Amino acid sequence: MVTFYDTEVASRLMLGTAQYPSPAILAEAFRRSGAGIATVSLRREAAGGDGGAFWELVRRLGVRLLPNTAGCHSAREAVTTARMAREVFGTSWIKLEVIGHADTLQPDPWGLVEAARELCADGFDVFPYTTEDLVLAEKLLDAGCRVLMPWGAPIGTGLGLANRYGLRSLRAQFPEVPMVVDAGLGRPSQAAEAMEMGFDAVLLNTAVAKACDPAMMAEGFARAIEAGRLGYEAGMMEPRDMAAPSTPLIGKAFL
């Protein structure tokens, strides 16, 4: 169980809804993974011309919707898209993306903070897609965000946790803020590592949708996330430079 904006969600796995081979495979991926939140793009669905059919599909998933502002390159564009998404999907939740670099899809920090401030003031519950930068994180929190979504690596790369030091520092700096590792994960082991660091959830799309068996991959990520969270909560041993015997020396026979 994890809480975002005073709403409890049963699963720590969020799944995107793009690029799946078919609607049936999308639905099966959600069923087998138990994911509790689905991200949806207003831009993509409008472009596809099947908004009604898509809405009916995601409604049947029985999960919480998190619309996003994917593809927006300015604060104004993102704010407008967010307001349209609130009308279409009937939720104040919004995953805020303001892209600043076309190749890496890295967020524009200035545009992100500007849009976050305006949307928070307008009653949105903002989930900002950000980097692991501590200064940017603090400015987003000051703008009114109560959740942060730092990237693991650039969107769709599957590189995993590219800056482990930065992510650990971010998690340690704001221990009470719910954080979701979003983007760049390609393997279940990478999701488990994010959870072992103490992050609250993971958001995936490409790694699942483009797998040979998306539903099986979604279940694999769900199990990895559960294992990583259990390890974090149990308290993992710290690495040591020297070997230490697990069997006690007391009672050993000496010749």
Q: Is 152 annotated as a binding residue?
A: no
**Residue 95 a catalytic site member:** yes
Exposed (0-12), middle (13-18) or buried (19+): which is 227, by Cβ within 10 Å?
Answer: middle
- Angle between helix axes 134-143 and 109-121 (nearest 10 degrees) is 20
Q: Is 205 annotated as a binding residue?
A: yes
Residue 71: DSSP 8-state? T
Q: Is 184 annotated as a binding residue?
A: yes
Q: Is 104 annotated as a binding residue?
A: no
φ, ψ dihedrals at 40, nearest 5°: -135, 145
Q: Which of 95, 139, 210, 252 is catalytic?
A: 95
Alpha-carbon gap, residue 84 to 95, rounded angstroms:
13
Alpha-carbon gap, residue 27 to 19, rounded angstroms:
13
Q: Is 157 annotated as a binding residue?
A: no
Helices (H), the chain: 23-33, 42-48, 51-61, 75-89, 109-121, 134-143, 164-173, 188-196, 206-209, 214-234
Residue among 100, 174, 184 at smallest CA distance from 139: 174
Confirm if 139 and 78 have CB atoms less than 8 A apart: no
| Binding-site residue set | 156, 183-184, 205-206
| Binding-site residue set for 1-deoxy-D-xylulose 5-phosphate | 156, 183-184, 205-206
The catalytic residues are 95
